[in-house]
Amino acid sequence: MERLNSIDQIPERFLEINYRDIKEVFESPTLIRLKGDKEPALFISILLHGNEFSGLQIMQEILKKYQVDGSYDLPRTLWLFVGNVEAASLGLRRQDNELDFNRAWPGTPHPEAPTAQLIAEVMEKITENGLFAALDLHNNTGKNPPYGCISIVNEKNKYLSSFFNHIGMVFHTPKGVSTMAFDEICPAITLECSTPGNPLGIEKAVALIDDLMHMEHFPDKALPEHDLQLVYNSAVLKIAEGVTFGFEEEQGEFELTLTNNFDRHNFTRLEKGEVFAHTTIDKPIIATLENGTDITDDILINENGALSLKKPLMPAMITLDKRIILQDCLCYLLEEYREKR
């Protein structure tokens, strides 16, 4: 099992290093505690997915900002967990033979896995004296705006989401994700900082972290409703097995052809009846709920080969990379989250 490296200072070189060279400063997953003026501490995890390197750049920017004469003058105590350094050095999300670092937190179906045991050690250390908030920094593929993901809808989590962007996502699966492990402990959010290195995602995350460093407490007033649009994942769209597919702007004959600039639909409402693809077969796309239930006939309509939705939904996580589409999915369909009052 990989050993957790636990330290209370930052090597100077960490501030400049490229994620692919991270093992030159940390040979194994590393938990750093930096003492600051205020308690309780802010917990931030980066590189749980090795190739999502914005988190590293964000923390380099934050640390540089508070560096004074070779040490750090932080307004609040900070825990920083640098996760899958091995995968980062290989430029991968994770290694094939290990449990995903973001499926290994308390609640994981695989608590016996070495990664889960390492994470349990992290949890034990960071929760000893309470936490102000927990942030997990990620990237995704495709033209997605930066957005936060929260698993519990309460005022503090809504505040975290709204400060990052005007749109936030509510999620409850898969099990073992970092943010869910903090449900009973402190406000917690996953920051999806757009594609790796995306400047807007970095800028927004830096601003949020800086704010949390200085805040005495979360605002007491409820968040105005129009400050945040919360959505949840209502369905996943996958290409049916064996179906040939392509994009309108491409040469070739496909059983499924997605309209021009398909990714322009990302995070915008796709109206009922708005055609987004053409097909020569009956069911080229399968829609399922998160639990796998097939709901294709409930939400998709195929009218003489023109595909559209039966109700307005918001596609997200669209990628134009055919390899990712086949491995993962074509896109998610989001629906507005309504709180029960």
Q: Which amino acid is at 137?
A: L
Tokens standing for residue 206: 């830096």
Smallest gap, in angstroms, from Cβ of residue 331 to Zn ion? Answer: 17
Smallest gap, in angstroms, from Cβ of residue 338 to Zn ion? Answer: 27
Smallest gap, in angstroms, from Cβ of residue 89 to Zn ion? Answer: 17
Nearer to Zn ion, 52 or 86 (CB): 52
Per-residue DSSP letter, 186: S
Residue 285: name the closest of 318, 307, 312, 313 by CA.
Answer: 307
Nearer to Zn ion, 77 or 190 (CB): 190
Smallest gap, in angstroms, from Cβ of residue 49 to Zn ion? Answer: 4
The binding site for Zn ion (CB under 5 A) comprises: 49, 52, 138
Nearer to Zn ion, 138 or 204 (CB): 138
Nearer to Zn ion, 49 or 278 (CB): 49
Nearer to Zn ion, 137 or 277 (CB): 137
Nearer to Zn ion, 51 or 296 (CB): 51
Smallest gap, in angstroms, from Cβ of residue 105 to Zn ion? Answer: 13
Smallest gap, in angstroms, from Cβ of residue 31 to Zn ion? Answer: 19
CB neighbours (10 Å) of residue 142? 16
Helices (H) and strands (E) in the chain, counts: 7, 19
121 contacts: CB under 8 Å, gap ≥ 6: 4
Beta strands in the chain (DSSP E): 5-7, 30-34, 36-46, 67-68, 71-72, 74-82, 131-138, 147-150, 167-170, 188-192, 229-239, 245-247, 256-258, 277-279, 285-288, 300-303, 306-309, 314-316, 331-336
